Amino acid sequence: MKCDVSDLKVKGITDECGIKNFEIRTPSGEIFIALREGKKYTIGDDPTKRTLRECKLAVANDTVVFFADRCTKVVPDAEVGEDPISNHSAWDCVHPCALLIKLSVTKFKYEDEIKRTLDAFGWIKPDGTPDFEHADSDYEQWRKKNANKCHEQGPRERG
């Protein structure tokens, strides 16, 4: 959604290391974070270093690139192989989307990024809400499979 640069709201935010970054908010409420990299900034998943003005122009022109947006070819389900992320035969970790859905019920600062990631993995239902049932099922299956791992490993040494 393109907009005018003057319609963007920019707010300085400081990260946990004391580095000042900028939050760029569109009139529609989308939030983009310009992360300081030396004297310039990066935005989205594009490693290109830009001035703050260039970051604002990218947001206004709707040219910020995210990993989930890079998929350009639609492939029928019949041609898609088994997704290694969805193949939970070992259950060594909880699916990242299950974890994101669990986190999304908190007041998480980057809601747009969570939704974009969930949508890329197919965890947003047709009505636009996260698939809580799938997340609960996925998380419980992982939790049951790994319930005894902490006891098997023994106490960790403190150093």
> What are 36-71's pLDDT values in tens digits?
988 999 998 888 899 999 999 999 998 888 765 555
- pLDDT confidence of residue 113: 67
In a domain, 70, yes or no: no
pLDDT beneath 50, residues of the chain? 84, 88-91, 150-159
Q: How far apart are the first and last CA of the chain?
A: 51
Q: What are phi and psi of 47, to 5 degrees?
A: -75, 0
The count of domains in the chain is: 2
- Predicted TM-score (pTM) of the model is 0.45
Residue 123 burial (10 A CB sphere; 0-12, 13-18, 19+): buried
Residue 122, phi-psi category: left (phi > 0), alpha (psi -120 to 50), beta (remainder): left
In a domain, 140, yes or no: yes
Last residue of a domain, one of 45, 65, 85: 65
51 lies in the same domain as 80:
no
- pLDDT confidence of residue 80: 54
In a domain, 159, yes or no: no
91 lies in the same domain as 140:
yes
In a domain, 158, yes or no: no
- pLDDT confidence of residue 58: 92
Domain enclosing residue 109, as ranges: 76-153
- pLDDT confidence of residue 154: 44
Beta bridge partners of 32: 24
In a domain, 102, yes or no: yes
